[in-house]
Amino acid sequence: MLNKELLYATIQKFGVEIDDNAFKRLDKYAEMLVETNKSFNLTAITEPDDVTVKHFADCLALFGMVDIPENAKIIDVGTGAGFPGLVFLLTRPDIKMTFLDSTKKKLGFIQNVLDETGVKAEVVHARAEEAGQNPQYREKYDFATARAVANLTNLSEYCLPFVKVGGEFISMKAAASDDEIKSAENAIGLLGGKIKNDTVFDLTEEMPRRIIEIKKISQTPTKYPRPSAKIAKNPIK
Ligand code: SAM
């Protein structure tokens, strides 16, 4: 399913290499994604080269930019069909991954891929705003990741509560304007974070991407995350 040559060539530009076993697991995932997508909408991207670059290489490129230590605990918030969390885990099964999404059916797909590839992880069906107030998940992770879930202000309220002080929230975006980032700065500070790196890069020609790394420097005040309706109606200014 995946175009191996294209995948390796694309991620090599970011200094990322994967071994054959990782490729086999990722390829199985890609095959299941496209097959399941015929009966249940998981992605609009289904053409093999597009799946290879826009989903798999896009997620793998992060390994060239952020050092993820062995056995790191990661929560992938709004993981959907498993991006980026499932790509990370199938490449690096040492990672302790939690997949979080509010749509149960998508998590069912992730569980099927985990069963098929023999890799273990935790799958949580909840809204981030609720799980972030649950002591089982709050400030328990080295990293929270999110790709294409919400604007950076609201996403920071969803994600920073999960991160331990000293850990990081990593936001992966196809395109994020400077304005979006500027207007999130106050919220990030209030939630205990600080922007550490903001990297704009081209995945391939004319495919801009942006990775914003936010370091957790102090505990998130207990009132955050607020209930969904409040976040939607009254984003942190
Ligand atoms: N991260 C995946 C990707 O890059 O392909 C999925 C992106 S999809 C556009 C957004 C996902 O976030 C959906 O699966 C949706 O159910 C989930 N989501 C949105 N808001 C959420 C929330 N507050 N808590 C948990 N999941 C949420």
pLDDT band at 206 (very low <50, low <70, confident <90, very high): confident
Between the CA of 81 and the centroid of ligand 1 the distance, in Å, is: 9
Q: In DSSP terms, which residues pair with 35 in a beta bridge?
A: none
The per-residue pLDDT for range 89-145, each reduced to its tens digit, is: 999 999 999 999 999 999 999 999 999 999 999 999 999 999 999 999 999 999 999
pLDDT at 176 over 80: no
Residue type, 197: N
Q: Residue 40, class by beta-carbon neighbours within 10 Å (0-12 exposed, 13-18 middle, 19+ buried)?
A: exposed
Choose the residue to mutate in 102, 105, 228 for probing ligand 1, maximizing ligand atoms within 8 Å of C-beta.
102
> Which tokens is 135 given?
């002591």
Distance 101 CA to ligand 1 centre (A): 6
Kindly report whether the peptide bond that precedes residue 161 is cis, defined as omega within 30 degrees of 0.
Answer: no
Contacts of 212 (CB under 8 A, 6+ apart): 152, 170, 171, 173, 176, 181, 195, 197, 198, 199
- pLDDT score recorded for residue 26: 98
Q: What is the DSSP letter of 54?
A: I
35-75 pLDDT per residue, tens: 999 999 999 999 999 999 999 999 999 999 999 999 999 99
Measured in angstroms, how far is the CA atom of residue 222 from the centroid of ligand 1? 24
Q: Are 161 and 136 in contact (CB under 8 A)?
A: no
Pocket lining: 78 vs ligand 1, CB cutoff 6 Å: yes
